[in-house]
Structure 1
Amino acid sequence: MSEAITIRLLGAVTAERRRGAAEEPIDLGPARQQTTLAILAASASHPVPMDRLVVGIWGQDAPRNAEQSVYTYIAGLRRLFEPDRPRRAPSLLLAGSSAGYVLCLEPRQVDALLFAEWLEEARDAQRGGDDRQAAHRLEQALALWRGTALSGLAGPFAEKERARLEQLKLSALEQRAESLLRLGSHEEVAEELRDLTRHHPLRERARELLMTALFHSGRRAEALEVYEEGRILLAQELGLSPGEGLRRCQEMVLSADAAAPDERPVVPHQLPRPLAEFVGRSRELVRLKERLAPWDGGPPGPLVIVTGPPGVGKSALAARAAHAARERFPDGQLYVNCRGATPDVPALTPLDVLGRFLRALGVPPQTVPADLDEAAAMWRSRLHDRRVLALLDDAADLAQIRPLLAAPFGNALLVTSRESMSWGEDSFQLELGRMSHAESATVLAKLAGAGRITADERETARLVRLCDGLPLALRIAGARLAGRPDWSVAALATRLSDERSRLHELAAGDLAVRSSLTASHTALERGSRPVDRRAARALSLLGLLHVPEMTAEAAGALLGVSTPEAEQALERLVDAHLLDRAGSGRYQLHDLVRLFAAELRPDDSREPLIRVLSYYAASTRLASHVADPHRSHRARPVDAVPHAVGGPAEAMAWLSDEEAVLTAAAGQALGSADDTIAGLGANLAFGLVWHQERHYHMEQMHALNTLALRVCERLGDEPGAHLALTHISNALRMTSRTDEALVHLQAALALARRLGDRFGEMSALGNLASANNSGLRYEDALPWAERQLVLARSIGARVGVRYALTAMGTAHRGSGRPEKAREALLEALADAVEVGDQLHEAQIRVGLGETCIDLAEPAEAVPHLLKARELYAPGGNRIGILRCLIGLSQAYRMLGELDQALSHVTDAVVAGAGLGYAHWERRLAEEQAAVHEARGAAVIREV
């Protein structure tokens, strides 16, 4: 049976069981169980003692029950590999002995052991002079790799074994290159070795082989460039000089240069190999090719720039475009990685870049000028009457490449950068955005197989959304699926849906979204300009606040700087493609950048968060008051400079624009364990209630004030608890949950009386009347309204008097006493008009209009309803406008003006769409039916 098992360690740890011609994957269980299998598989057919398993899994700090856990993992593996084994029968695959546990497999059944075996066979073939056989065996060995060894596993064994296997892989690549060079495959090997040195720049043997390949391909200048790059890196990173092997290679090339001074101009071909899985970007490719190789045969654009956020695929697109246009540049294609955002590696200086290009164009290293201006002049001279394309990948900024920009016409610079650049009329800048859904799905399909990606379109759409349309994230997700054939798309999407671990999951081998974003942030943090460092801090602070977007004014509060300074920092983040503009004066973080920013949380994060929440609370309180000063605004004053609003219309517009932000900020603050922050959240929630009522956002009002009630109870804030109870009951009342609303109002009334809060008591009485009216309990409502009226008059609260009279009018009307209703409403109307309370005036006029209809006086109803609609319109009070339109339809229908009735009831359908207020939806449906019935009857009469 063991012969049918294969264990794979050269990638994610997997196992397959062969049944006939098919191989079925085995689910290996949790990560530490997989590590146990990996330790045993690495020593297949040899015993592994318990202490080595424990240390390999946990290290020296193993838990007390470590051995018991190992027994559990061993038992689990036995069940997985031998599901049909009788319960008490010994395991034939995973045997136990006094010396330890033995995985009874042959080396050929473990890919890592087979790899090592084939590597040794290749060495024997090389020693025997058979390079063809050696190269063949090495190709077979390297084909066993599926990604980073032991991908996804942690612990001492996994880390040490992963490093050992990776070193073996690099040795195999170098061995293969040696054999192929001896077989004369210089050009093929040169491209492969260039990739190897790009990923492992400090491996001197790989660099020696690359120099040899380039030298024997006639590319001597490039070979010297490789040496110079290695010399600089070794000095910068390790403080060392090149070893003997590299120096010998340099001497070989220099000797050849001296012997052939009259050779033809060097034609470099340095472009990196284009990405094999390149997908989409058709329009962008066309636009780039139009600039690099114009259709009319004209000269190329001298400077073409591709910018965009980290991981968006700038380098891959530029390489593809450069290859598509290279025939138009017969005198050579240059390439350099400017290292503008390479973590912990200094960016190349302009002189470094010029030196590399000049050497690649045939200038002997010893004659490359050490002066920047002289080197730039030599660059221009070398390009005279030539057509060369230079791809400068990952440029830090415009300053890094400026000395190269004056190249003669006919030559072109193609630049990629995370920074936006601007350079005169001759430049073209393409800002690369995130991929479309279709392109994203195709990237995944190319890497993980079309069948898996198309099997569940909904889960694929979720995975694409979680990857934020970033090619880097999509490539990582595709690689992880490819390395785990037992995972479904849904399984990976579920892992990524947890925001706490999404960036951790988006890593595979050398690819990681987090490290890409870290590089951009670090470049700002270490920038020479104050605005760079302020932008880096801004990014770390933006991650503190979980809101959909932000203005510069709010960012100023967060940073503790003026609005102009904050705007400069935000615009700097936009230029670095770490932040997007979301409309006029507004900015937003994409999801993956937002998660990264949250990880940057600085030590002094509490004060910035308090500052910005104070700004939001103060601004909301002021805007609510300016929008309608006649309402009771009981949110407490906050020590912060609020957003200034010029009048009611501007205040209501600000509240509408900021509502999603304010709601999110309040919800986040209310969930905080910090008392000050939670208290600000409650204050912000209280400031929003009148805006929420105007727009019938009852769900948000209920949710925020429920959280606010818990916070106030936790803080012992009884006045705050009273407000929260009041607002919760209002949301319940307006969503027809009358009984629940009354319970909360009774609690609010009792609390107000205990606090001696006469205004709060008066307000609770009025709300009890309104709740009963909303529940059609008119006779129950009237006593509450009468008690409110008495108390309001005794404390001089005119707004309470108007509210009580309005509630009394509603109760009388509902109880069949329209004349008494009109009497109360007219008294309330006179007071509302006198003090300029437009909201109460509108509410009272609606009630008067409906009362006139009850009294069969439709002509008297119309002016009240028209005036009410006019008063409601600026604030957008949806319930009020709907009631006006239904009332107008009724009045005109009673007057026989059926076209007018139809017009108003049609407007009412639009106004009530999606409102979710059952009572008024029912009234609207009844009125709509009545209008159509009346029109039908009128047609019959005419006939």
Structure 2
Amino acid sequence: MSEELSVRVLGAVTAARGSSPIEAGPPQQQIVLAMLATSATVPVPISRLVAGIWGEAAPRNAEQGVYTYIAGLRRAFEPDRGPRRPSRYLTGSKAGYVLRVEPSHVDVLLFADLVDRSQHDADDQQAARRLDEALALWQGTALSGLSGPFAEAERARLEDLWLAASERRADRLLRLGRHEEVTAELRDLVRRHPLRERIRELLMASLFRSGLRAEALEVYEQCRVLLADELGISPGEGLRRFHEMVLRADAEQAGTSPAAVGPAPVANVPHQLPRPLVEFVGRVQESMRVKERLAPWDDSSPGPLVVVSGPAGVGKSALAAYVAHQARDRFPDGQLYVNCRGATPELSALTSLDVLGRFLRGLGVPPGAVPTDLDEAAAMWRSRLHEGRVLALLDDAADLAQIRPLLSVPLGSALLVTSRESMIWGEDAFEVELRRMSSSEGATMLAKLAGAERVSADADETARLVRLCDGLPLALRIAGARLAARPGWSLSALTTRLSDERRRLHELAAGDLAVHSSLAASHTALERGSRPVDRLAARTLSLLGRLHVPEVTGEATGALLAEPTAKAEAALERLADAHLLERGAPGRYQLHDLVRLFAAELRAEDGREALIRALSYFAASARLASHVSEPHRVQEAAPVDAVPHAVSGREEAIAWLFEEEAVLAAAAVQAMNSPDDAVAELGVNIVFGLHWHNERAHRMVTELELNLQALQASRRLGDEKSILIAHSHIGNIMRLFRRTDEAVEHLRASLEMSERLGDTFGQMRALGNLSSAYNSAERFEEALPWAERQLAFARHADLRVGVRYALMCIGNALLGSGRPGEALGPLHEGLADAHEVGDGGIEGQLQVAIAECHLAEGDHEQALAHLLDANELLTTAGYGIPRLRCLIALSRTFRELGDQDRALHWITVGASVGGFGNARWERRLAEERAAVLEARDRQAVNEVSRYP
């Protein structure tokens, strides 16, 4: 019977009927079992099962595969069941498949139930017993050995639940005075999860209550140093509060009190609001209500959460931008903006962490210092706003859950949110529901677009047109643009054309269909237009729906269309005139979110070929720009048969890469997620074409995300050369993040693959990157043999760029291990070669290393000469961290020469460059600045002491 069936997922996925184990089958069948079991008694649609197994990479026969796994499970559950008898355990319906198993017989559901019940137990002893019972259900890593979207997401979720349950158990035992029982367990949890502050707080409590105050304080200090080095942040409020309590306990014995901690100021003043529409019409009452909440007449604090809600296309974003600009003077500490993409077709909505990350970076937090934990990021967000006045406009929020971590902003700051969903139940929310435009407002908009005389000449037809557009500003803008493009038309000519769509427009009152109808009418008019540019514009829109990038240019659209750039630009302008595209920066165009949805439904005959043409253009352009900007670096992106964007020199190439980086990254992600191998291969190629740009610009988070996806796509494609390159890139990024062990793992994988494939350059590169990984970790003695192997290999293969890099690594390793005199030989040899070939980036880095050798030997004049040359070279090359190293060395040189004013100048320049979120260089920057300030103070004291 169904109640005899049991399933375990807290470990390996297993099943049993009574005491008899059941063979769960292959991994993907185990995923189906796990998805059904964790949703016991609730139907799971086949689409969800497909997504859980394969995600966006689902094969064409994915549903058939699911049917196979369902049949396999049924055979396993009931091997004796006849072919026509329904299954007692696994049934299907239109809603999906249901596994008939008691929730208490599924370990994960029992676990969740026990943990939930423990939260409601007033008796700590009973709660601890329930938590012990829950944690005992775990038999290892959840869904052990399984991969895929569901397995990975569920494993991460369950790991968080396990940690939370372990923390609650420790908390209950501490309340019972059983602190000695949990100390060892908490130490182990801290070791396994060093960045989890709640665990450290509990460990501090257990040590403190055991009389081990010094050890408790050491736990805090270790956490403080780790968070500063890894993330560039301070411990959270809970940990700081307990630390102060322990200090206070010691201070009371010593007759002192702990120091007060001041609030964190807002880091900089961002001005990110999009400009308001020039043709903004009406909405007088709604605008006043929103503005009064953001900028109260009596100068009191603004409402912390102001929401503009309403259906698609009603003008929420336009009103929010308009009012935000009117109120911006009340927020002198900055105005932030993010498109949450809650209803953006074909693009995933931003996560809460994505939104927080963008805002924190906007407030000056270095990218590498933005927390990856949602709670920590939210805490940093509140800290940054403390005692500040910042307005954050969150456009197109999906729902309240998406923005909930950003709520509870300190008084003085405000969130202005637009969404299709009501958020009236949000904490301290003030909501304005934006309805359709009135007849008079719609007529005013049409008059501005199509001409006042023309609209006022036929008031009845104007009112009829507003009704047919259902008062939606987007539909009215499209209608007005069509009229403006056809001055010979009367209003009745357009209303007659729209009349056939009246029913659909009315049905769109609650959603996208009304806007879709307006867009369809406009697209049809272009398709049937008398001018060639109209028909080309219609085709352009249908093909733009295949390309999921933030914006396009005439050149990229020309590749998509297989047409000259001039014709593509004319088509884009035509679409912009029809309000089917939005003009951005000069020569750049963006699809409105609702137009993107419409365009995605248009199926051009050559859609696949057009997408490949556009991606090929992106790949070829990225590769060329990368080569022109870094002529001395090996380009790992393969050549592509396409006409690239032409760049005339290094500066132009770098500027183009900066301008297009978001587009290139989006195109790469779209392509790599495609089941089409030819498309996916182009996505990987674009990622590799962006490598040197991302490294030079220190786009390390982007580089890591892209290369992780490139690794996954290359594995699916069976492309070993691309797998090798992705491993190399990931290893190098891990090196910069100081995740040395992970870096070495990836770099060794690239070395082994290059050896197996006979890839000479790949072997040489892997050896050098391994040396750099150990040098970055300041493990210099381990770095030296790898660099020496690279040097021997590069000399044998006659790879001069490898020889230069190896000599630099050898010099840095010798310098770091206290042998500056030995380091000068290889460094000077590398410098001569770099200067000969004009490799300015490497030349500058070698000059800095040589200068540091001279500093170590007390030769400041030699050091200064090299550093001044290096600064010029590295400024031109655009390498951030090497230049920061140079600036710190310049400051040190002048400091040791006694010229503290010049030392302060150079370290101030270094601070303006920043540490790029790199913990090692952030620390060295701070140390040198402190040394300069101390030397200046000491010098000032000496000056004063000369005069009695």
TM-score, normalization: structure 1? Answer: 0.50
Deviation per residue, 1:263-310 (Å, 9 max, x gap): xxxxxxxxxxx999974599999xxxxxxxxxxxxxxxxxxxxxxxxx
Residue 317 of structure 1 is matched in structure 2 by 441
Q: Secondary structure at the match of 2:674?
A: coil
Gaps of 5+ in 1: 1-28, 31-62, 70-273, 286-310, 346-391, 405-412, 418-475, 477-502
Determine which of 898, 901, 910 is the counterpart of 1:899.
Answer: 901
Asked whether the equivalents of residues 670 and 708 of structure 1 are also in contact (C-alpha less than 8 Å), the reply is yes
One-letter amino acid of the counterpart of residue 912, structure 2: V
Superposed, 1:397-546 pairs within 5 Å as 397-398=483-484, 401-402=487-488, 507-508=509-510, 512-546=514-548
Residue 554 of structure 2 is matched in structure 1 by 552
Determine which of 639, 649, 652 is the counterpart of 1:650.
Answer: 652
Deviation per residue, 1:54-106 (Å, 9 max, x gap): xxxxxxxxx9968999xxxxxxxxxxxxxxxxxxxxxxxxxxxxxxxxxxxxx
Q: Does 1:585 align with 2:587?
A: yes
Residue 294 of structure 2 is matched in structure 1 by none
Residue 464 of structure 1 is matched in structure 2 by none
Asked whether the equivalents of residues 611 and 640 of structure 1 are also in contact (C-alpha less than 8 Å), the reply is yes
Asked whether the equivalents of residues 749 and 765 of structure 1 are also in contact (C-alpha less than 8 Å), the reply is yes
Asked whether the equivalents of residues 740 and 777 of structure 2 are also in contact (C-alpha less than 8 Å), the reply is yes
Residue 926 of structure 1 is matched in structure 2 by 927
Q: Secondary structure at the match of 1:546?
A: coil
Residue 938 of structure 1 is matched in structure 2 by 939
Deviation per residue, 1:484-543 (Å, 9 max, x gap): xxxxxxxxxxxxxxxxxxx99964299722222222222212212111111111112112
Q: Does 1:639 align with 2:763?
A: no
Asked whether the equivalents of residues 446 and 480 of structure 2 are also in contact (C-alpha less than 8 Å), the reply is no
Asked whether the equivalents of residues 733 and 741 of structure 1 are also in contact (C-alpha less than 8 Å), the reply is yes
One-letter amino acid of the counterpart of residue 673, structure 1: P
Asked whether the equivalents of residues 908 and 924 of structure 1 are also in contact (C-alpha less than 8 Å), the reply is yes
One-letter amino acid of the counterpart of residue 926, structure 2: A
**Structure 1: how far apart are the matches of 2:96 and 2:748?**
59
Q: Once the 2 structures are TM-superposed, how far is the Cα of residue 601 of structure 1 from its aligned partner? A: 3.8
Deviation per residue, 1:668-706 (Å, 9 max, x gap): 111111101110111111111111111111111111111
CA shift in 2, pair 1:505/1:768, >3 Å: farther
Asked whether the equivalents of residues 339 and 395 of structure 1 are also in contact (C-alpha less than 8 Å), the reply is no
Deviation per residue, 1:614-656 (Å, 9 max, x gap): 0011011111111121111121100000111111111111111
**Structure 2: how far apart are the matches of 1:504 and 1:861?**
76
One-letter amino acid of the counterpart of residue 941, structure 1: N
Asked whether the equivalents of residues 813 and 821 of structure 1 are also in contact (C-alpha less than 8 Å), the reply is yes
Percent identical residues: 54
Residue 571 of structure 1 is matched in structure 2 by 573
**Structure 2: how far apart are the matches of 1:505 and 1:779?**
72
**Structure 1: how far apart are the matches of 2:782 and 2:617?**
43
**Structure 1: how far apart are the matches of 2:511 and 2:917?**
51
Asked whether the equivalents of residues 482 and 578 of structure 2 are also in contact (C-alpha less than 8 Å), the reply is no
**Structure 1: how far apart are the matches of 2:895 and 2:618?**
47
Residue 141 of structure 1 is matched in structure 2 by none
Residue 87 of structure 2 is matched in structure 1 by none
Q: Once the 2 structures are TM-superposed, how far is the Cα of residue 801 of structure 1 from its aligned partner? A: 0.5
One-letter amino acid of the counterpart of residue 546, structure 2: L
Asked whether the equivalents of residues 864 and 893 of structure 2 are also in contact (C-alpha less than 8 Å), the reply is yes
Q: Does 1:709 align with 2:711?
A: yes
Residue 624 of structure 2 is matched in structure 1 by 622
Deviation per residue, 1:582-636 (Å, 9 max, x gap): 1121111222222222222434311111001100110111111111211111211
Asked whether the equivalents of residues 709 and 721 of structure 1 are also in contact (C-alpha less than 8 Å), the reply is yes
Gaps of 5+ in 2: 1-41, 44-90, 98-280, 292-317, 320-434, 470-477, 496-503
Q: Once the 2 structures are TM-superposed, how far is the Cα of residue 314 of structure 1 from its aligned partner? A: 9.8
Determine which of 433, 438, 459 is the counterpart of 1:335.
Answer: 459
CA shift in 2, pair 1:313/1:562, >3 Å: farther
Residue 73 of structure 1 is matched in structure 2 by none
**Structure 1: how far apart are the matches of 2:675 and 2:506?**
26
Superposed, 1:378-389 pairs within 5 Å as none
CA shift in 2, pair 1:917/1:333, >3 Å: same
Determine which of 592, 601, 604 is the counterpart of 1:602.
Answer: 604
**Structure 1: how far apart are the matches of 2:592 and 2:892?**
50
Q: Secondary structure at the match of 1:587?
A: strand
Asked whether the equivalents of residues 794 and 800 of structure 2 are also in contact (C-alpha less than 8 Å), the reply is yes
Asked whether the equivalents of residues 483 and 489 of structure 2 are also in contact (C-alpha less than 8 Å), the reply is no
CA shift in 2, pair 1:320/1:695, >3 Å: closer
Asked whether the equivalents of residues 840 and 877 of structure 2 are also in contact (C-alpha less than 8 Å), the reply is no
CA shift in 2, pair 1:340/1:821, >3 Å: farther
Superposed, 1:32-181 pairs within 5 Å as none
One-letter amino acid of the counterpart of residue 755, structure 2: R
Q: Secondary structure at the match of 1:512?
A: helix
**Structure 1: how far apart are the matches of 2:617 and 2:839?**
28
Q: Secondary structure at the match of 2:459?
A: strand
Equivalenced residues, count:
513
Q: Does 1:916 align with 2:917?
A: yes
CA shift in 2, pair 1:778/1:403, >3 Å: closer
Q: Secondary structure at the match of 1:642?
A: coil
Residue 758 of structure 1 is matched in structure 2 by 760
Residue 562 of structure 1 is matched in structure 2 by 564
CA shift in 2, pair 1:774/1:504, >3 Å: farther
**Structure 1: how far apart are the matches of 2:706 and 2:679?**
14
CA shift in 2, pair 1:68/1:710, >3 Å: closer
Q: Secondary structure at the match of 1:770?
A: helix
Deviation per residue, 1:874-932 (Å, 9 max, x gap): 3422112211211111111111111111111111111116x210000000010010010
Asked whether the equivalents of residues 805 and 827 of structure 1 are also in contact (C-alpha less than 8 Å), the reply is yes
Deviation per residue, 1:788-820 (Å, 9 max, x gap): 111111111011100100000000001100011
Residue 741 of structure 1 is matched in structure 2 by 743
One-letter amino acid of the counterpart of residue 317, structure 1: E
CA shift in 2, pair 1:662/1:860, >3 Å: same
CA shift in 2, pair 1:322/1:924, >3 Å: closer
Q: Once the 2 structures are TM-superposed, how far is the Cα of residue 397 of structure 1 from its aligned partner? A: 3.1
